[in-house]
Amino acid sequence: MGQQIESALRQSIHRIVLVLVSFLPGILAFLLALIVFTLIGWALSALLRRLLTAVRFDERLASREFPGAPAVIADWSPSSSPTLLAARVTFWVCVLAGIAIGISAFDASYAADSRYSVFLLPYVAHLTGAILILVAGTLLARFLARTVLIGAVNAQLHYARFLSLGVKWLVLVLTAAMALDHLQIGGAIVELAFGILFGGIVLTLALAIGLGSRDLVSRSIEKTMEKPTTPRPTEVPPLTETEPPPRPRLRHF
Amino acid sequence: MSSTAITADATLPDAQPSPTSASRSVAEVLVCLPAIAADALPTVLEAIASAFPGEAVLVASSDPPANASDWPSLELIPYSNARTGVGWVLAVGDYAAAAHLAVERDARAVILLGDDTAPIDAPLLRSLADSVRTKNIDLVLPRFTLGPNDALVNSGLLYPLSRALFGADIHFPLPIDAALSTRLAQRLATSTQRLMALNQGSSLLWPVSEAAAAGLSVREIPAADIAPPAPPQDDFNALFATVAVSLFADIDAKASFWQRARGLPKRPSGQASPPPIAAIEASSEIHSMIETFHLAQDNLQEVWSLVLPPQSRLALKKLSELSPDAFVMEPDLWARIVYDFTLAFHLRTLNRNHLLGAMTPLYLAWVASHLRTVSDDPGRAARAVEITASAFETEKSYIVSRWRWPDRFNP
């Protein structure tokens, strides 16, 4: 009995070690490809930067040599420098190429009928997609939250922060649900949880805005409903003190 | 200086037949009119004829009247001016079209009239043209009569920045009417060429900084009893963002000039002391603006911390603790805040729309403080504007240092 257990354990350890050993070349190939291409990208980027600086690329672009191009490029460039933009694009293209080649090498290190390869590689693609969704969603949530916050403050809404947080979490919840769906995790539970959370946030926001704006709405309705009462011709208008002249309205422009 | 070629564009009058050298007039003055209603045009032409009696004047109009012979001294020429989206001030398209005509017609003085609603003041028109022709000034702008609560963006932002950075003591650097020399017209034709090619005729242009950067002379002349026209649209936030973005972009583009440029000579020291605060209660408008500032102080710390150094944020915190009846923003604090936002615009610290949105409550805080100080008195208003502009001049070293070494100052 003991020998059988020992044999079973030994066999399973052996199998795991074999799997790890078969994994290792692929991982090493992936890392090597990534490091080499990152270094190539860094070198190319530095070279390009020096070259463009030497030929005064930014100044030439800003002059009238290429009408139409400078404003658009400068607008998307870090610190308004098209040279920096070109250098960074070169670097990241090389890094992405390294990742693609690494994954390809990882794939090639397996036999075609390997069940790990069949399972793992599509999942890596899904994982990459989910990470991209998460990054984009987080950036969008941050941007929208800030836009709403600033707009609400300038509109003198006292619940500006609350509104901004609501928008931020709406986008984050949506992003998380999309990422999980992309990874095929959770299935119907994720959809249900997403529906409940999303609906909850929207209801909370609606209640908050409704309650917060109650005074504003009631004042607006009162203004609409109340009509100015004109004195009857027979009535003597009440004596009022002479009102001071209205202060001049301010003009910003 | 030779004439400058201008790129053909739909907004420029290239499609119109160019006058032959034989048909060119000897008129020295070219007046470019905005789009005016047909029934108002005769009055305008009458005013121009009376401003230049017995003198030949070229008048560019987008829709010349049929009875042009009623004014024999005026030569009416077609002109496709590009009225702008911003509308009430002159923009790139206006300058480009006028510069094109000025170069083509060899005019010595070009007068651009931007406001299509106010009646034309003949003496002002004459003064504008004479300053360019006889005093050899390259850019002449009218100085409008301001009420104490008028043109606050001008008083708090445009004038102080223009004076401190470009050394131009011009109270309306974003002109509604302007007179240009041929030299400046040629320069503007060149600088607007690229923008016109990009179909950005409605963008704002800052002729004062253009002239200052080119070493050309700039003057303003008083426009007695004429108030500046108001912009047509009512959305303050959008208009403030449009003007501030354009101004900051211009400052960014001319950084190499203003970092070297010397400012105006120092005023007498008596001007430097701040005016006493009037013992007035804050009005509802002031309360509203202070409330916006308090709201921003509570909510926009995260954004402000990316732009403002700790000293400024501490000063703002102290300011937020003051009651509305004691609310005063010191001019030097306001100057540093504006400079910090200018730098953040240059460095793209955050999205530019967010940046301008985050600046709006601070501007409103300055307005609230200014209105309390001014207390509806034109004399006090003029003094307060002068003190604000002096503060911008004094703090110029701050922006120069931060511009050159932004990391050293990072919070």
DSSP collapsed to 3 states, A63-108? CCCCCCHHHHHHHHCHHHCHHHHHHHHHHHHHHHHHHHHHHHHHHH
Q: Which of residues A237 and A141 earns the better pLDDT score?
A: A141
Cα-Cα-Cα-Cα torsion B297, B301, B305, B311, nearest 10 degrees, comes to 40
Residue B54 Cα distances to A64, B72, B77, B181, angstroms: 43, 9, 19, 22
Cα-Cα-Cα-Cα torsion B400, B402, B405, B408, nearest 10 degrees, comes to 150
- Whether B240 sits inside 8 A of A252 (CB atoms) is yes
Chain A partners within 8 Å of B88 (Cβ): 253
Chain A partners within 8 Å of B367 (Cβ): 250, 252
Give residue B330's pLDDT. 93
Mean pLDDT of chain B, nearest integer: 82
Instruction: List the single residue in B198, B347, B354 with the smallest CB-CB distance to A146.
Output: B354
Give residue B5's pLDDT. 33
List residues in chain A touching B: CB distance below 8 A.
64, 67-68, 70-71, 78-80, 143, 146-147, 149-151, 153-154, 156, 158, 160-161, 164, 247-253
Cβ neighbourhood burial of B134 (10 Å; 0-12, 13-18, 19+): exposed
Q: What are phi and psi of B53, to 5 degrees?
A: -65, 135
Query: In terms of domains, do A57 and A93 share one?
Result: yes
Locate the domains of chain B by residue range.
13-234, 269-409
Instruction: Look at residue A251 and tell me if it is in a domain.
Output: no
Query: In terms of domains, do A79 and A152 share one?
Result: no
Across the strands, what pairs with B139? B180, B218
Query: In terms of domains, do A126 and A139 share one?
Result: yes
Per-residue model confidence as pLDDT tens digits over B294-353: 999 999 999 999 999 999 999 999 999 998 888 999 999 999 999 999 999 998 888 889
Instruction: Look at residue A248 and tell me if it is in a domain.
Output: no
Give residue A73's pLDDT. 56
Give residue B121's pLDDT. 81
Query: Looking at residues B191-196, what average pLDDT do you find?
Result: 80
Q: B48 and chain A: CB distance < 8 Å anywhere?
A: no
Smallest CA-to-CA distance from B165 within B411, B398, B406 is with: B398
- Which of B107-111, B366-370, B390-394 has the lowest average pLDDT? B107-111
Query: In terms of domains, do A126 and A219 share one?
Result: yes
Enumerate residues 83 to 122 of chain B having a beta carbon within 8 A of any beta carbon in chain A.
88
Query: Looking at residues B73-98, what average pLDDT do you find?
Result: 75
- Which of A235-249, B201-215, B226-240, B303-317 has the lowest average pLDDT? A235-249
Highest mean pLDDT (candidates A108-117, A209-218, B19-28, B208-217) = B208-217
Structural domain ending residue among the three candidates A67, A89, A109? A109
Residue B137 Cα distances to A48, B29, B212, angstroms: 47, 14, 12
Query: In terms of domains, do A176 and A88 share one?
Result: no
A109 CA to centre of own chain: 35
Look up the domain containing A48 and give its range. Answer: 9-109
Instruction: Look at residue A231 and tell me if it is in a domain.
Output: no
Under 8 Å between Cβ of A91 and A41? yes
Cβ neighbourhood burial of B215 (10 Å; 0-12, 13-18, 19+): exposed
Give the separation between CA B35 and CA B47, rounded to whole angstroms. Answer: 16
Give residue B83's pLDDT. 52
User: Can you tell me whether residue A128 is helix, strand or coil?
Assistant: helix
Structural domain ending residue among the three candidates A89, A109, A129? A109
Query: Looking at residues B159-188, what average pLDDT do you find?
Result: 90
Structural domain ending residue among the three candidates A81, A109, A137? A109
Q: Which of residues B341 and B93 earns the better pLDDT score?
A: B341
Query: In terms of domains, do A13 and A75 share one?
Result: yes
Chain A partners within 8 Å of B353 (Cβ): 147
Q: Which of residues B181 and A208 earns the better pLDDT score?
A: B181
Give residue A2's pLDDT. 85
**B230 min Cα distance to partner chain A (Å):** 6
Give residue B411's pLDDT. 44
Give residue A135's pLDDT. 93
- Whether B152 sits inside 8 A of A251 (CB atoms) is yes
Best mutation site among B300, B341, B374, B376 for testing chain A: the one with the most A CBs within 10 Å?
B300
Give residue A246's pLDDT. 55
**B250 min Cα distance to partner chain A (Å):** 13
Instruction: Look at residue A20 and tell me if it is in a domain.
Output: yes
**B67 min Cα distance to partner chain A (Å):** 37
**pLDDT-based confidence at residue B293 (cuts at 50, 70, 90):** very high
Per-residue model confidence as pLDDT tens digits over A114-166: 555 556 667 777 888 899 899 999 999 999 999 999 999 998 888 899 889 99
- Amino acid at the residue B100: H
User: Can you tell me whether residue B186 is helix, strand or coil?
Assistant: helix
**B193 min Cα distance to partner chain A (Å):** 9
Instruction: Look at residue A4 and tell me if it is in a domain.
Output: no
Under 8 Å between Cβ of B202 and B86? yes
Query: In terms of domains, do A19 and A86 share one?
Result: yes
Smallest CA-to-CA distance from B144 within B114, B176, B120 is with: B176
Give residue A151's pLDDT. 93
| Tokens representing residue B181 in the block | 């020399």
Chain B partners within 8 Å of A251 (Cβ): 147, 149-152, 230
Give residue A78's pLDDT. 52
| Tokens representing residue A38 in the block | 């990152």
Query: In terms of domains, do A102 and A165 share one?
Result: no
**A249 min Cα distance to partner chain B (Å):** 7
CATH 3.30.70.1290 fits B13-234, yes or no: no
Chain A partners within 8 Å of B300 (Cβ): 149-150, 153
Instruction: List the single residue in A146, A150, A253 with the smallest CB-CB distance to B230.
Output: A253
Query: In terms of domains, do A219 and A119 share one?
Result: yes
**pLDDT-based confidence at residue B186 (cuts at 50, 70, 90):** confident
- Whether B298 sits inside 8 A of A161 (CB atoms) is yes
Give residue B399's pLDDT. 92
Query: In terms of domains, do A119 and A219 share one?
Result: yes
Q: What's the CA angle centered on B276, arms B272 and B277, to 5 degrees?
A: 130
Instruction: List the single residue in A64, A160, A252 with the smallest CB-CB distance to B236.
Output: A252
Per-residue model confidence as pLDDT tens digits over A69-97: 545 555 555 555 778 888 999 999 999 88
Under 8 Å between Cβ of A103 and A124? yes
DSSP B158: I
Give residue B367's pLDDT. 94
Q: B352 and chain A: CB distance < 8 Å anywhere?
A: no
Q: Which of residues A23 and B84 earns the better pLDDT score?
A: A23
Query: In terms of domains, do A138 and A154 share one?
Result: yes
Per-residue model confidence as pLDDT tens digits over B234-292: 788 888 988 999 999 999 989 989 988 666 666 655 555 556 565 566 678 889 999 99
Per-residue model confidence as pLDDT tens digits over A40-75: 999 999 999 999 888 878 777 765 444 445 455 555
| Tokens representing residue A242 in the block | 């002479």
Best mutation site among B295, B341, B345, B356 for testing chain A: the one with the most A CBs within 10 Å?
B295
pLDDT at B189 over 70: yes
Q: Which of residues A66 and B64 earns the better pLDDT score?
A: B64
Count of other CB atoms within 10 angstroms of residue B151: 23
Q: How many domains does chain A have?
A: 2
Under 8 Å between Cβ of B205 and B119? no
Query: In terms of domains, do A118 and A206 share one?
Result: yes
